[in-house]
Amino acid sequence: MTKIKLGTSNLQTGKISLGCMRMDKLSKNEAAKVIHSSMEAGIDLFDHADIYGGGESERVFAGAVDLKSGVRDKMVIQSKCGIRKGSFDFSKEHILTSVEGSLNRLNTDYIDILLLHRPDSLMEPEEIAEAFTKLKQSGKVRHFGVSNQNPMQVELLKKYIKEDLIINQLQFSLLHTPMIDAGFNVNMKNDSSIVHDSNILEYSRLNDMTIQAWSPFQHGMIEGAFVGNKDFPEVNKKLQEIAAEKGVTDSAIAIAWILRHPATIQPVIGSMNPTRIQDISKAVDVKLTRQEWYELYLAAGNKLP
C-alpha cells in the first residue's frame, strides 16, 4: 500500500487506518488475525481510545501481538483521550492519567500519536500544553493531534502548544458530507450552504493537518452503515455498478471515493473481519474519475447548485 505523510511529521503510514473500537469483542486469536490481515494489506496505523470497550480494546490488541518485539516499529499506534462519563476533560491531570492507562493496557513504552477526543469547552490550553510537553519530553507520546475540532479551537490550542498538531479526526463519508457541501453552495440560502465547521477541510489543507475520516461507511452519526442498506438504493446501485467495473467490493468504492479527494484524507475503517479488511484495502488501487466521484456524490442524495 502506498504510504502517506501524516501532517508535518515524519510519520509515513498506509492510506487507510484501522479503528480498534470493536476489538474488545474479539478473542486473542481473532484479534491477532485482524491485526495480521491489516498489516498484510498495508494498514499499519491502529486507532484506539481510552474509552473503547472501557479500555478493553487496547488490552485485547496488546494481548494479540507482542509489542515488545520488532513488530512495534512497523506499527503506528494512535490513541485518544478526553471523554469521561457525562463530560469531556482536557485537564492536565486527566490527559496524563489517560496516557498512563493506555500505555499499560497496550503494553508499550510510547504512543505514536495522541489525539484529544472531543472538544472540552472548559479546556485551559495552558494545561494541555504542559501535559503535552511532559509527555513529549518523557518519550511517552511522540506526536499530537485532535479529533472533532473546528479551526478556531485548533488555533487556540496552537497558541500555547509547542508541538505540531498533525491530525484532526472528523466524520466523513458519502452519506455525511457537510465538510464539502458548503464549498459547493457558496453565497446561497439553501441548507447545504450552511458552514457547519468553519471550513475545516480548507483549514486543514492550508495548515498541513491530515484529516482522518471516521465512520466512513456510516449515515448519520451512529445510525448504521449505508453500504448494502436497502434504505439507500440509489447510492448502493451506483456503488455496485462502479465496483463491478473496477473488480472490487462496493465498500472499497466507498473508501476510494474518500481517497480520491486531493486533501489526502485517511479513512479509519472499523471492520473486525479479516476478509473484509483485505477487500476494503484494495480501494487504494482504485482510480475514480472525476465523473465517477461526482456521480457517487449525487447518488448519495446530494445536489449541486
Q: Cβ contacts of residue 205 below 8 Å, gap of 6+?
A: 263
Task: Provide the 10 A C-beta neighbour count for residue 233.
Answer: 10
CA–CA separation, 291 vs 305, rounded Å?
Answer: 16
Q: How far apart are CA 27 and CA 63, in angstroms?
A: 9
**Segment holding 210, helix H or strand E:** strand 210-214
Supply φ then ψ for residue 34, to 5 degrees. Answer: -65, -45
Residue in 52, 110, 160, 297 annotated catalytic: 52
Run of H or E residues at 292: helix 290-299
- Does residue 52 carry a catalytic annotation? yes
The secondary element (H helix, E strand) that includes residue 75 is none
Reading the block at residue 31, the C-alpha cell is 484479534
**Nine-digit cell string for 214:** 471516521
Active site residues: 52
